[in-house]
Each structure stands twice: as structure tokens, then as C-alpha cells.
Amino acid sequence: MGFPDGYNCDLMQGESNANNAQDTTAVVANADGSIVERLEYIQANMNAVAAAPAIVSKVLATTANGSTTLFNFTGAIRINSIIGVITTVMENKVQTMKLAVTPDALAAYDICATKDIDTFAVGTLLSITGTAANALVSTTAVGTMAPSQAGGVVAVCIATGIIKVVAGAANTGAITWHINYTPLSAGATVTAA
């Protein structure tokens, strides 16, 4: 079977060289388009899947009163787990803490309720259950995570979003936060703030 006169079949055949290269940089991804557009669509979505899951960390040398941004995110992500490791003992004072997500310029959404972490020792681990009504949970054994996140938390933004810690008071205690996330949209990322 031949191609009609003037039909450019180079996109299907490629070039006659070692790489069989064909420039497709101007082709856009389209799930219902031509073969090359569909390949671009598949490649874009494979890149999102290949990058998952990922872990990002943020060190807070002290805890400020109010909101502190831990992570910035783009697109749609699934928070598989978020864990805080206390690296400097928390001061002996009432110290409530919770985590929240703010997509774009919208209102913050708490992904857990507050927990008092007064005098928590070095090595104590903090996490969420995946249910927003449940308080931030902590370990009873230093360095061992007994509670775990039962369900993922989905966060979506159009431009940029943030994941933050909200503290009821300033504290000289230090916490390193780790987030394990899966991108749900092509190009979705999480970075430390």
C-alpha cells in the first residue's frame, strides 16, 4: 500500500540514520489525535506515573506561632503519608499543632485536628490518620511509627498550593517533616518551601 502523492510519511518512517530520529517538538499531546499525538499523550502520562511516589523533606529548626509553609505543590497529588520527626525536644509549654492544605488562594483546609505536643522527646514521630477530624497522632515509642495513615489525602490546585503546619505558640523544638506523595496529574510536584 502506497501513500498519496505529496503525503509526508516521514513521521511514520522516521529518518534513515542510527537514531531513526524525527523532530516532533511541535506536536501536542492529544488522547484522540493522530498516532504521534497519542504517543505524546502516553509519554506525558507515563512521566507522571514513573515519578511516583516521591518523598520530600523540610527541616523546621524552630516552630513559629501561627502558619508556616512546609511544602509547595502543583497540580493534583495524593498525600500517602506525612511524618514529622522531632529532632530537638519541644519546650514545656502548651503547644498545639495541626496540618493544613491551601490550594491556590482559597481557604485553608485542615487535614487533621490539633494535638498538644508539649515536651515531646527527640525521636518522637508525628503523623496523620487520613481523616481530617482526627488529631495529629504521635508515637508512644520513640523512633517507631505505630500509628499510620489509613487513607490518602488528595490535594488539587490550578496554579500553586501549600501544605503548612499551624502552631498555637512559638517553640524552640525542631521538627523535620517528610511527605510521601503520588502525582495524580502530569507534571504534579511537591517541593520544600
Contact (Cβ atoms closer than 8 angstroms) between residue 68 and residue 167: yes
Give pTM, 2 decimals: 0.73
pLDDT tens-digit series, residues 2-61: 555 554 545 455 566 666 566 777 778 787 888 877 777 777 766 555 555 789 999 999
Is 2.60.120 the CATH classification of the domain at 54-192? yes
The CA distance from 117 to 95, in Å, is 6
Question: Which helix (H) or strand (E) segment is 38 a member of?
Answer: helix 35-50
